[in-house]
Amino acid sequence: MNLSNRVRRDREPVTVEKIRAAHHERRGEIRARLGEFAEVWRTADDARLWEEMVFCIFTAGASARMGLGSVEAVRHLLARGTQGELAAALAGRHRYPNSRSGYIVVTREYLAGDCGMGLRRRLEGFADPLERRDWLARSRGVKGLGYKESSHFLRNVGLRGYAILDKHILRCLAEIGVIDSPEPPSTRARYLATEERLRSFARDVRIDFDELDLVLWSMKTGEILK
């Protein structure tokens, strides 16, 4: 899809009827994508889970495509690379090479001390899915993951039931009147409240909650990515 078509799509107002139609048209692809995420959880080792977390650190304030390209650039450095090495590899690939390389090093050091980089064991240790996300979003040692990107990471590794409230999803919800404003929720309480409204809307339109997130995102971007 070229840029002009993508901009035109983003400006088209979303309606409930269009959401249902888009889900009907794309549900096979969406379910396949969710199946890929589930396969990550079934098969991934801790190094792969760490790579998925780094991808979400890269997408914050950027884009999914920039995140994918950035991961490719630093994959060989994720286990032991210094901030300088990471920043050099990210130059020209990410808009914030210095800050994101710093986030990676700080988060890696924190996880090494917290769980020995045993991310699977750590994630499995939470009985409450909200506490699992709180650990990521509110920990001082995990840099670059607020509630949106913590949800993004958990979804991408196959853990369902988390809303990724990025600008595209929020615009859709505002356009159909589920929320009053597309402004990002600035606190945990507001994030949870918006997430619950999305959950309620999913029940109303009878679309699976995790599928709906991808439907709305694809309606604004024209793509179904990570």
User: What's the half-sphere exposure (Cβ side, CA atoms, 13 Å) at 50?
Assistant: 25
Catalytic residue among 148, 210, 213, 226: 148
Task: Record the tokens describing residue 212, joined without a space.
Answer: 């709906």
Catalytic residue among 143, 166, 210, 226: 166
Band (145; pLDDT cuts 50, 70, 90): very high
The secondary structure of 130-154 as a DSSP string is HHHHHHHHH-TTS-S--HHHHHHHH
Instruction: Please say if 208 is a catalytic residue.
Output: no
pLDDT of residue 63: 86
Neighbours of 131 (CB within 10 A): 10
Q: Would you give the DSSP letter of residue 183? A: S
Distance (Å, whole) CA 77 – CA 149: 22
Distance (Å, whole) CA 154 – CA 81: 24
Distance (Å, whole) CA 192 – CA 186: 11
With beta carbons less than 8 A apart as the criterion, state whether 183 and 170 touch: yes
Q: What is the pTM of this model?
A: 0.91
pLDDT of residue 10: 54
pLDDT of residue 5: 46
pLDDT of residue 12: 74
Distance (Å, whole) CA 82 – CA 62: 22
The tens digit of pLDDT for each residue in 30-71 reads: 999 999 999 999 999 999 999 999 999 999 888 888 999 999
pLDDT of residue 129: 96
Instruction: Please say if 166 is a catalytic residue.
Output: yes
Helix 129-138 vs helix 188-205: crossing angle, to nearest 10: 140
pLDDT of residue 6: 42
